[in-house]
Amino acid sequence: MTTDTKAAWKRRALRAEAELESLRRIRRFEHGQEMEMCRVDAAQATALREIQDILNGLKKDEPTAGLI
């Protein structure tokens, strides 16, 4: 039978805190990556909408634009 000492409990607590901090760092990194992907997606969606608007405008202004 093992007797848990105050030192053993302290070691466990310190190990748990270190593991928690590691998980927090990983989550911060993942969150940063996710936010960057959202920014890129939003920029690409905006660019695509602008291109579509330009193409739609060309179709209305030029009679041969729909043939290309």
Mean pLDDT calculated for residue range 2-13: 89
Q: Decide which of 4 and 42 is more confident.
A: 42
Predicted confidence band at 59 (pLDDT cuts at 50, 70, 90)? Answer: confident
Please name the residues in contact with 66: beta carbons below 8 A apart, sequence gap of 6 or more. Answer: 59
> Taking the domains of the chain in order of start, what are their residue ranges?
9-67
E strand or H helix at 31, and its extent? helix 6-61
Q: How far apart are CA 16 and CA 48, in angstroms?
A: 48
Tell me the pTM: 0.61
pLDDT in tens, 23-47: 999 999 999 999 999 999 999 999 9
Q: Comparing 58 with 24, which gets the higher pLDDT?
A: 24
Please give the helix or strand (H or E) that residue 53 lies within, else none.
helix 6-61
Q: For position 60, what pLDDT does the model report? A: 79
